Amino acid sequence: MLFTLSCASKRIELPDYEGVDIKKIITERSSIKGINATFHVEFEKTDSTLAGDAALTLTERTLDLRIYSMGFLMAEIKEADGIIKSNPPSDRNKNIILVEGLRNSILWWLIKDYEIKEQNGNYHVRNSSREIVIDKKTMLPVSQTIELDSGKELRISYEEPANSNGFWYPSRMKIELSKYVVKLQIKSMSSIPHSAQGQQ
């Protein structure tokens, strides 16, 4: 099932899941426990902006992020079971927006103990700390809010659906936390199936 979005420069056939149970989609997506991605990233803090190209391997429990500028490695962040290591060292908020922001924005389907409500043509999937707004037709996220343990709110917005070998994802994401903003333009994304986790 597909519906078509037309514009002057391109024609994109988006998935049409109208009438499909959102719980089925989340269950199917949950067989994907990780992704490999490349993207352009802009990191904004007050009046300063850093930009580069990044390579990411992400699972539910681990993260490996490398950011390059002009072909040179500019920063590297690794996380495993909640322990974050960054080179060069960076402050706590920057690590949170990159680690928690990337994991929750990309692996959005790993939300636990959720309830679902329908509102304004969208599904609102929420638990005690997160709410994800999902488009009923594309079954892709529109926005997400996460209440962190510190009481701060992590806000995520999504745009421009893209497809890679049948795997649909938003190709533009914006992650906001306090005075930090991270903007992503996804260049490529591929899924890591659950069965491949033990081989990494």
Q: Is residue 137 assigned to a domain? A: yes
Whether 23 shows a pLDDT value over 50: the answer reads: yes
Q: Is residue 58 assigned to a domain? A: yes
Report how many domains make up the chain.
1
Q: Is residue 8 assigned to a domain? A: no
Q: Residue 199 — pLDDT band, cuts 50, 70, 90?
A: very low
Instruction: Provide the residue range defining the domain that includes 162.
Output: 21-192
CA dist., res. 151 & res. 178, Å (int): 11
Stated pTM of the model: 0.86
Instruction: Return the CATH number at 107.
Output: 2.50.20.10
Q: Is residue 16 assigned to a domain? A: no
Mean pLDDT, the chain, integer: 89
Q: Is residue 46 assigned to a domain? A: yes
Q: Is residue 128 assigned to a domain? A: yes
- What pLDDT score does 179 carry? 87
Question: 9 vs 80, which has greater pLDDT?
Answer: 80
